[in-house]
Chains A and B, each alone.
Chain A
């Protein structure tokens, strides 16, 4: 009997393979994504392994370990004299200060410069071979003006004191940060004032016995006392260790990817449950017939569950296979474009695990629909019309459960709200509130799943009004969704999950970007800064000369003044504990484009002017000063009354407590000389920046004690990092959206099959083919509309709460444009998902449709 029931089900599957595909599609996509991630991890790990090792391939033995104890130069000398050692290259990464204080910085690397162990290759001039000679990278030569033949001086603060350095050549290496110099090991150690190396690479003479050499090396090292004794590894071991370290650094990234993928898998399970429910509902009469002729509930449910597991097995296998094919094709394709990417292996165990997981997830997903369907009354078989319209309400238990979940979510969120950190949190750990938010969000999502059918109608009423006005077809579409709220809820909730995640990333990203821009406007207000040594001022000639240079623009010199006391006007008590004083600048905030990105806590930065000052946030935290308040600034005997034009959330550019108009700074007795200047490169890009740096260097040459700092590089780095992180995050949460869209497509396709009679009737009473297509496509887009609305309603507040809970003093943003684009994209995507089923439905002739017995 069991076999008979099962056979009936399975032959039904065989007769309509498209249904199997539709129910399994979400699981298929999820299996694909999971296995693709496994392969991507392999590809990345192998690629990193192949490229991350910095020890040259020609190295036979490595003495010492950069992470461990250093090796003395005396060991290097002894190793060089060993028979069987062809070459010994000491490695060292140290730094050199140039010129007077703040004159510049060079990263100094020890390298042989020629031969198989060289990491740097000479492209111009010659490699250093005498004391106080260096070679530099091309970018360094360009940026710092260290062309071949240049003689520069090391800083007086360096261990060896000021020495004259000669640039003998330009070398290329894998890593060119724009401030890198190379020299042979012993010259480098002498310059760095040290006799320690980080590691020594050995190359043996051809034919030399590695074991024999190794024994001799060990003999030399035996002279070193134990805690400092360096380790000896083969070149292969060293390279493997370096690769392993690089791969291990990727670990957290893959952990994050795994987290998002598990959310996508959960979404796939929800979609599968929903589609199984629809498919079983369509077979209600057949199931009722089986019950009528004597199949019991358990057997029926068992047969349906087996069908589900089979679906998962097939979907998982197909998904894994597609991923495997693509995973092996992609590196080959990339190599055709000269990108070195390793191929993944054939992780059979992982493949089987993914297929087993897909089967299990589908089995879990099918259980509730299977038991629900098995509960069908045998009498259903005898009902004439197949208009078993789905229930519109939910049971009391489900309602109570959903409300409890919602209450739990609200309670946790409320708890987080009451414990939000102030503007200046002390010892604040955001981990607990963030965890609470995650739990609250999960509860809220399950509340959405539970209460979905009840929520669909109000949301539909809200978002459906423009469609209802679109005429009878729009009304039909809205009615079609509203008529099956359980189904609409099941799909929309998955869309909502995706939208919640993306909206969270967009809102969070927008806040982080503002926070980043604020930080950068403060820490890097311009591309370059030239500063005078403490207590001195810039020579007027330098400022004048800088003004005349076309390579730079937005030149903004500024003065500094410290020792200011601040009080509310009319209240002699100074603000600030224990006579704490402020420093001030007269930086013209409107002069620099970066500074205009500053956001304010109150007031307007543009109002800065005579008698109007801008305060750093920390000045106001204890006092509650706001824009418009009158304050008195006192320095020694001078006193001025001013008003607060704006209060910044954090520090001011140049980190002063208060920014004044130059006239006000004069009234406080500031000297005329500038403390420093800020400037931007006139042209964008690497060339413009190099030219500007060169110009500023020429301008400051000849004046002692001037420091030139390139702030722009850091800004680029941070901006690039933020962009990359946002891109990765959106890509990952996009997986969930992909599965949601697949779910919408499958649901529309299945409901089109189910409602083929309805389509036939509409065609019979005069709905055109296009009209029917429009109606069904609109229905699909309505799933997206409902889901996106719910997703935004959940995602934006939760993102705001998370930002507040982070305690990073980040502003709350509503990125209206990206969110609107997300909303429209989801509606469009779900509409596209409905397009194919709608086309199929509109092609069926009305006679066939009306005659169909579903």
Chain B
């Protein structure tokens, strides 16, 4: 079955179309005998205004791929392109600016600052950049996410679902080129999770937002336009219009080949 592994369709990184792309990206942790190749030559592109899910079993390298593409982690070799900028060649200072102005994040554990109110958490990246939020977009996000009556509360006073919706607003309010979501539903009950995923899908449709989501949940992947499968640090599959059944089957096949 290993032949199929290699024969998996790989989207060519077309830089004019792709918002984010990895070109032969390699990431090695450690050195010598204990070296682990978390990414073993990954080449993949993520289209604009597209909702892509990166899937794979634990240790497949999906989080590492996201971190490299988001300028949070450095790669060992290869390129991580954001709209034509090679993030692997940027200084820490430049990466900080890139993260602040061109990327939005949603985390599994929400990661809101406990000392700030919901509203202050939402505008935090813009505050750091010294910019004012787009009033209309802000109002739209607050309205769609239904957190208008929670803006003055601190994270400890919010439920998990509410905290994640605040985090979503924070990720989108600066109109980033791409939003990276790392297991955004991992800490949520199924209803809150469904709300978050619907919102992500709707923001692609309504706002033209590019979203890359790391998940191991086939239900979550079913909301995406496309699912990229990773195994052992390599691309192991690419599903267009994934649904629960096709994703589950692809994952099963992946596990069976190992």
Contacts and interface: CB of A to CB of B under 8 A. Distances in A.
A and B co-occur in one complex: yes
A768 B111 contact: no
A479 interface: yes
Interface in B119-168: 120, 124-125, 127-130, 154-156
A765 B100 contact: yes
Contact of A764 (B105, B109, B155): B105
Interface string B95-116: 0110111000101011101111
Contacts of A734: none
A760 B113 CA distance: 11
A761 B73 CA distance: 13
Nearest to A768: B96
Interface centre among A760, A762, A765, A769 (most CB of B within 10 A): A765
Interface string A748-761: 00000000011011
Contact of A757 (B96, B111, B125, B130): B111
Interface string A478-502: 0110110000000000000000000
Given A387-B114, A483-B115, A757-B111, A767 B128 contact: yes
Nearest to B180: A764
B72 A472 contact: no
B93 interface: yes
Q: Which of A762, A766, A768 has the most CB of B within 10 A?
A: A766
B73 A766 contact: no
Contacts of B105: 764-765
B156 A384 contact: no
A476 interface: yes
Contacts of A760: 111
Interface in A828-854: 845-847, 850
Contact of B101 (A482, A762, A766, A845): A766
Contact of A765 (B92, B110, B125): B125
A483 B128 contact: no
Interface in B148-200: 154-156, 170, 187
Contacts of B93: 768-769
A252 interface: no
A643 interface: no
A766 B107 CA distance: 15
A389 interface: yes
Most-contacted residue by chain A among B70, B109, B129, B130 (CB, 10 A): B109
A763 interface: yes
A134 interface: no
Contacts of A570: none
B67 interface: yes
B109 A385 contact: yes
Interface residues of B, number: 32
Interface string A46-67: 0000000000000000000000
Given A384-B109, A471-B130, A764 B156 contact: no
B114 A766 contact: no
A389 B72 contact: no
Nearest to A384: B187
Contact of A482 (B67, B92, B96, B115): B115
A480 B115 contact: yes
A771 interface: yes
Nearest to B171: A765
A835 B88 CA distance: 30
Given A384-B109, A476-B113, A771-B128, A766 B96 contact: yes
Nearest to B97: A766
Contact of B111 (A472, A473, A850): A850
A384 B124 CA distance: 24
A472 B128 contact: yes
Contact of B170 (A476, A762, A765): A765
B99 A766 contact: yes
B106 to A, nearest CB: 11
A384 B110 CA distance: 11
A387 B154 CA distance: 12
A543 B73 CA distance: 90
Contacts of A482: 115
B254 to A, nearest CB: 24
A766 B125 contact: yes
A758 B128 contact: no
Nearest to A845: B73
Contacts of A764: 70, 72, 99, 105, 111
A363 to B, nearest CB: 32
A758 to B, nearest CB: 6
A448 to B, nearest CB: 23
A769 B100 CA distance: 13
Contacts of A769: 92-93, 96
B111 A761 contact: yes
A384 B114 CA distance: 15
B107 A850 contact: yes
A389 B109 contact: no
B115 A845 contact: no
A472 B155 contact: no
Contact of A473 (B110, B115, B128): B128
Contacts of A845: 72-73
Contacts of B109: 384-385
Contacts of B156: 387, 389
A766 B72 contact: no
Contacts of A475: 120, 127
A761 B113 CA distance: 8
A845 B92 CA distance: 10
Nearest to B187: A384
A767 B107 contact: no
A674 B93 CA distance: 82
B100 A766 contact: yes
B129 A847 contact: no
Contacts of B187: 384-385
Nearest to B116: A479
B124 A472 contact: yes
Contacts of A472: 124, 127-128, 130
B127 to A, nearest CB: 4
A164 to B, nearest CB: 90
Contact of B114 (A483, A763, A767): A483
A766 B95 CA distance: 8
Nearest to A480: B115
Contacts of A762: 113, 128
B155 to A, nearest CB: 7
A850 B109 CA distance: 9
A761 B120 CA distance: 14
Interface in A748-797: 757-758, 760-769, 771
A659 B110 CA distance: 81
A479 B117 CA distance: 10
Contacts of B114: 387, 389, 483, 758
Contacts of A846: 72
Given A471-B130, A472-B127, A385 B110 contact: yes
Residue in B93, B114, B125, B187 whose Cβ sees the most chain A Cβ within 10 Å: B114
A388 B72 CA distance: 26
Most A C-beta atoms less than 10 A away, residue of B93, B97, B113: B113
B184 to A, nearest CB: 14
Contacts of A847: 67, 72-73
Contacts of B129: 766
Nearest to B96: A768
Contact of A387 (B99, B120, B124, B155): B155
22 contacts: A389-B154, A471-B127, A472-B124, A473-B128, A475-B127, A476-B116, A479-B116, A479-B120, A480-B115, A758-B114, A763-B99, A764-B105, A765-B100, A766-B128, A766-B129, A767-B100, A768-B92, A768-B96, A769-B93, A769-B96, A771-B128, A846-B72
Interface of A: 384-385, 387, 389, 471-473, 475-476, 479-480, 482-483, 757-758, 760-769, 771, 845-847, 850
Q: Which 6 A-B pairs have the closest CB atoms?
A: A766-B100, A483-B115, A472-B127, A479-B115, A761-B111, A768-B96
Given A476-B116, A765-B128, 8 more contacts: A387-B114, A389-B156, A472-B128, A479-B120, A483-B114, A760-B111, A766-B99, A767-B128
